[in-house]
Amino acid sequence: MKLSIWTKAHSEKKNKKAKSKLREWIDSIVFAVVAATIIRWLIMSAYTIPSSSMEGTQLIGDYLFVSKLHYGTRTPQTPLRLPLTDNKIWGTNIPSYLSWIQLPGYRLPGISKVKRNDVVVFHWPADTIKRPVDMRTNYIKRCLAVAGDTFSIKNSQIFINGKKATQPPNVHFLYQVVTTNQISHRVFNEYDIYFGGENSNFVTRTSDNRYAYYLFTTPNDIQKLKTRLGPMLVSAQSLAKNPGVVSEEMFPMSYWKKLERQEGKRYSSTNLNWNQDNFGEIVAPRKGMTIPMTKENIIKYAPIIKEHEYHQQVEVALDFSKITIHGKSIKSYTFKQNYYFMMGDSRHNSIDSRYWGFVPEDHIVGKAWFTWLSLNPNKGLFRGKIRWNRMFRGIK
């Protein structure tokens, strides 16, 4: 009886068809996609640096891994999406997701909190395209103020809680360098200053036939360049804005101007004489922090309450005298989540929290971990294309 059962089972197994090569390939691809999707969601994901807003720390052409473990992985809010994509199908402008189903977002426990000077990847809170939070455009900036910090800029110097903040070593600023003769690009290349393409440096001719170069570089390199140029140098000066020069591009003025255009209303003046080099003071809201709804606080924090605190109806008086939530006037407000102030290391070439406000905690993607590949877009394949000294380097 046992022999008969074994013979029948062996015969059935033998008669089963072996998997075809195509089936084996399909199974392997499905397994790889599922594994990569889990790793990308749970542990880390890869990004590339497309612009020069973090110049000095992250260069155009850097490829980096971003850790999801540091701050805790977020549960998916938009489940109907193609795996291994962000918000578009590769090489197209076609959305890679359907927003039919939206789930509440949660964050798993992480190994650390967002700290000052961390380089952070997050979803852009002011994305110009209306998308779910987890489908918004990815940005990378440095966190300069964490929840609860008082942030300000005075003459380009960052202050946190009234004290001068530590400045990263390679922070870039905008300078104007005027010379009598044209400077060889070979000289600029020695300082990693390039022109054209994604690079923001440029040159013009002055009315008296001189050359005016506008360079995003470090204070140290501008001093070296001044010595190098010698007698052909006419002038070299920082183009930082002076105190009292008003820029309506700055947050929160920028937000109220945008609402005026969208709603056809006219808000009263905010009386905030802020610009990119003289900004604040302003407090990064902390979860559970309660503030009185004074006129000043309505101007500064109503944009956060309207856009990121998940209220269906928030109205602000045109003279900022009161704010109502669901038709009820409020005298104080308690924040529901933490917020962070993010800036690029190329201080005069970065559209960041100075322009569009704080980054909510539910927009945080992860911590920039290390650069695994760096390709210089200004070099040829066999002429320094690969920046070997940046390979597998931690990001600080």
User: What span, in angstroms and rounded, lies between the C-alpha atoms of 303 and 259?
Assistant: 10
- Going by pLDDT thresholds of 50, 70 and 90, the confidence category of residue 6 is very low
For residue 229, the model assigns a pLDDT of 94
Cα-atom radius of gyration of the chain, to the nearest Å? Answer: 26
Q: How far apart are alpha carbons 98 and 104 in whole angstroms? A: 16
Q: Which single residue is written with the structure tokens 């397994």? A: 31
SS3 (DSSP) at 28? helix
Distance, CA of 256 to CA of 266 (rounded, Å): 9
pLDDT digits (tens, 9 = 90+) for 268-323: 999 899 999 999 999 999 999 999 999 999 999 999 999 999 999 999 999 999 99
For residue 46, give the nearest of 67, 70, 72, 64 by alpha carbon: 64
Residues 275/153, Cβ–Cβ less than 8 Å: no
- Mean predicted confidence (pLDDT) in 196-225: 93
User: What is residue 198's predicted lDDT score, i.e. its pLDDT?
Assistant: 84
DSSP category for residue 336? S
Please state the rounded mean pLDDT for residues 110-128.
Answer: 95
Q: Over the stretch 16-45, which tens digit does the pLDDT of each residue have? A: 556 788 888 888 888 888 888 888 888 999
- pLDDT band (50, 70, 90) for residue 371: very high
Mean per-residue pLDDT over the chain, rounded: 91
Using the predicted structure, report yes or no on whether residue 360 has a pLDDT greater than 90: yes
Contact 168, 142 (CB under 8 A): yes
Confidence check: pLDDT of 10 > 80: no
Handedness of CA 39, 40, 44, 49 (dihedral sign): positive
SS3 content of the chain, % helix, strand, coil (to 5): 25, 30, 50
Cα 21-22-27 angle, rounded to 5 deg = 100
Tell me, what's the pLDDT at 18? Answer: 65
- Length of the chain counted residue by residue: 396
Here the tokens at position 212 are: 């005016």
Residue that is written with structure tokens 């009234």 in the block: 162
- In this structure, the dihedral spanned by the alpha carbons of residues 362, 363, 367 and 371, taken in order and rounded to 10 degrees, is 160
pLDDT value at 81 more than 50: yes
pLDDT tens for each residue of 128-171? 899 999 999 999 999 999 999 999 999 999 999 999 998 888 99
Give the N- to C-terminal CA distance of the chain in Å, as an integer: 72
Q: Given a cut of 90, is residue 341 above it in pLDDT?
A: yes
Residue 390 near residue 371, CB atoms below 8 Å: yes
* Distance of alpha carbon 5 from alpha carbon 49, whole angstroms: 64
Write down the pLDDT at residue 335. Answer: 98
Backbone angles phi, psi at 172, to 5 degrees: -100, 145
Contacts of 171 (CB under 8 A, 6+ apart): 56, 218, 345, 346, 347
pLDDT value at residue 5: 47
